[in-house]
Amino acid sequence: MNYTVDPGLYALGAPDKQSPVLVTANFKLSFDRLRSAFGGRNAWILVLDTKGINVWCAAGKGTFGTDELTGRLKASGLEKIVSHRHLILPQLSAPGVAAHAVKRACGFSVAYGPIRAGDLSEFMDRGMKATPEMRTKRFPLAERAVLVPMEFIPALKWMAVLLPLFLVLGGVGFSGTFRGDITTHGIQAAFMLTGGLLAGAVLTPLLLPWLPGRAFAAKGAVAGLITGCIVIFLSGGAPDTAAIQAESSGMLLISVALAAYLAMNFTGASDYTSLSGVRREMQWAAPLLIAGATLGLILWTAARFL
Amino acid sequence: MANTLTYLKNVTTLALDADLCVGCGMCTVVCPRAVLSLKNGKVEIVERDACMECGACAQNCPTRALKVDAGVGCAAAVINTALGRSGDECCCVVDANGKTGPVCGPGCC
Ordered DSSP codes for B58-103: HHT-TT--EE-------HHHHHHHHTT-S-------B-TTS-B---
Cβ–Cβ under 8 Å, residues A191 and A235: yes
Q: End of a domain among A112, A135, A158?
A: A135
| Same domain as A105, residue A146 | no
Is the same domain home to A104 and A184? Answer: no
B63 and B22 assigned to the same domain: yes
Whether A208 contacts chain B with CB within 8 A = yes
For B68-104, give one letter per residue: b (16+ CB within 10 A) or e. bebbbbbbbbbbbeeeeeebbbbbbbbbbbbbbbebb
Q: Is the pLDDT of residue B104 over 50?
A: no
Q: How many CB atoms lie under 10 A from the CB of residue B54?
A: 30
Are residues B27 and B60 in contact, defined by beta-carbon separation less than 8 angstroms? yes
Residues B60 and B76 in one domain: no
Q: How confident is the model at residue B5 (pLDDT cuts 50, 70, 90)?
A: confident
Q: How far apart are the first and last CA of chain B?
A: 28
- Taking the CA of residue B28 and the nearest CA in chain A, the distance in Å comes to 9
Domain match, B77 and B90 both: yes
Lowest mean pLDDT across A139-153, A249-263, B28-42, B87-101 = B87-101
pLDDT digits (tens, 9 = 90+) for A200-231: 999 999 999 999 999 999 999 999 999 999 99
User: Same domain, yes or no, for A54 and A159?
Assistant: no
Within chain A, where are the H helices? 28-37, 55-61, 66-76, 78-81, 99-106, 120-125, 132-135, 141-169, 178-181, 187-198, 204-207, 216-234, 242-265, 275-302
Diameter of chain A measured on Cα atoms: 85
Tell me the torsion sign for CA atoms A19, B61, B34, A260. Answer: positive
Is residue B91 scored above 70 in pLDDT?
no
Residues A165 and A283 in one domain: yes
Work out the mean pLDDT of chain B and round it to a whole number: 79
Residue at A2 is within a domain? no
pLDDT in tens, B49-67: 999 999 999 999 999 999 9
Separation of alpha carbons A268 and B109, rounded Å:
6
- For residue B9, being part of any structural domain is answered with no
Residues B106, B88 within the same domain: yes
The pLDDT of residue B102? 40
Q: Is residue B4 in some structural domain? A: no
Instruction: Say how far apart CA A5 and CA A43 lie, in whole Å.
Output: 17
Query: B60 with B85, same domain?
Result: no
Measure CB to CB from residue B12 to each of A139, A143, A276 and give the nearest one.
Answer: A276
Contact A57 B93 (CB under 8 A): yes
CATH code assigned at B47: 3.30.70.20
In a domain, A151, yes or no: yes
Residues A131 and A153 in one domain: no
Calculate the average pLDDT of chain A: 93
User: Is A162 a member of any domain?
Assistant: yes
CA distance A265 to B73: 10
Residues of A in contact with B103 (CB under 8 A): 3, 27, 29, 52-54, 57
- What span, in angstroms and rounded, lies between the C-alpha atoms of B104 and A269? 11
The verdict on A270 touching B (C-beta cutoff 8 Å) is yes
Any domain includes B43: yes
Do residue A125 and residue A152 come from a single domain? no
Decide if A52 is inside a domain.
yes
Same domain, B94 and B61: no
Q: What angle do CA A69, A71, A72 make, to 5 degrees?
A: 65
In a domain, B5, yes or no: no
Co-location of B33 and B77 in the same domain: no
Residue B92 belongs to some domain of the structure: yes
The answer to whether residue A87 scores a pLDDT higher than 50 is yes
User: Residue A97 domain-assigned?
Assistant: yes
Q: Which domain holds residue A36?
A: 8-135
Residue B94 domain-assigned (yes or no): yes
Question: How far apart are the C-alpha atoms of A84 and A81, rounded to whole Å?
Answer: 9
Range of the domain at B79: 72-109
A288 and A162 in one domain?
Answer: yes
Given this model, what pLDDT does residue A7 score? 95
> Is residue B7 a part of any domain in this protein?
no
Cβ distance of B96 and A37 shorter than 8 Å: no
Longest pairwise C-alpha distance within chain B: 48
Task: Give the percent of chain B with pLDDT over 90.
Answer: 54
**What's the structural domain count of chain B?**
2
In a domain, A1, yes or no: no
Q: Touching check for A276 and chain B: CB below 8 Å?
A: yes
In this structure, the answer to whether residues A73 and A215 fall within a common structural domain is no
Can you give the pLDDT at residue A20?
96
A240 closest CA partner among A248, A228, A251: A248
* A131 plus A145 within the same structural domain: no
Looking at residue B74, what is its pLDDT? 85
CB within 8 Å of B41: residues ≥ 6 apart = B23
Domain boundary among A109, A135, A161: A135
Check residue A40 and give its pLDDT.
85
Calpha distance B40→B65 (Å, rounded) = 16
Q: Mean per-residue pLDDT for B42-46? A: 95
Are B97 and A29 a contacting pair at CB < 8 A? yes
Pair B32, B63 in one domain: yes
Which residue from A179, A164, A187, A194 is spatially nearest to A247, judged by alpha carbons? Answer: A187
Which of A223, A218, A202, A196 has the alpha carbon at shortest distance from A296?
A196
Which B residues 57-96 touch A at CB under 8 Å? 57, 59-60, 62, 69-79, 90-96
**Whole-number Å distance between alpha carbons of A80 and A76:** 9
CB A121 within 8 A of CB A37: yes
Nearest to B59 among A56, A98, A267 (CB): A98
pLDDT, one tens digit per residue, over A117-128 is 999 999 999 999
CB proximity A166 to B under 8 Å: no
Q: CB distance from A29 to chain B under 8 Å?
A: yes
Least confident of A63-72, A227-236, B26-35: A227-236
Least Cα separation, residue A245 to chain B (angstroms): 33
**Residues B94 and B76 occupy one common structural domain:** yes
B69 pLDDT above the threshold of 80:
yes
A91 and B30 Cβ atoms separated by less than 8 Å: yes
Report the C-alpha gap between A253 and A303 in whole angstroms. 14
Q: What is the pLDDT of residue A203?
A: 97
Q: How many contacts does A have with B, using Cβ atoms within 8 A?
A: 214
Q: Are residues A126 and A156 in the same domain?
A: no
Examine residue B2 and state whether it is found in any structural domain, yes or no. no
B42-45 and B36-39 beta bridge pairing: antiparallel
Q: What is the DSSP letter of A11?
A: E
B92 to A268: CB separation less than 8 angstroms, yes or no: yes
Whether the per-residue pLDDT at A108 is higher than 80: the answer is: yes
Domain final residue pick, A135, A167, A187: A135
Same domain, A160 and A223: yes
Separation between Cα atoms, residue A274 and residue A260, nearest integer Å? 18
Residues A65, A130, single domain; the answer is yes
- B61 in the same domain as B37: yes
- Judge: A60–B33 Cβ closer than 8 Å, yes or no: no
Q: Do B55 and A54 touch (CB under 8 A)?
A: no
Give A3's contacts in chain B (Cβ within 8 Å): 101, 103
CA-based nearest residue to A91, from B41, B38, B26, B5? B26
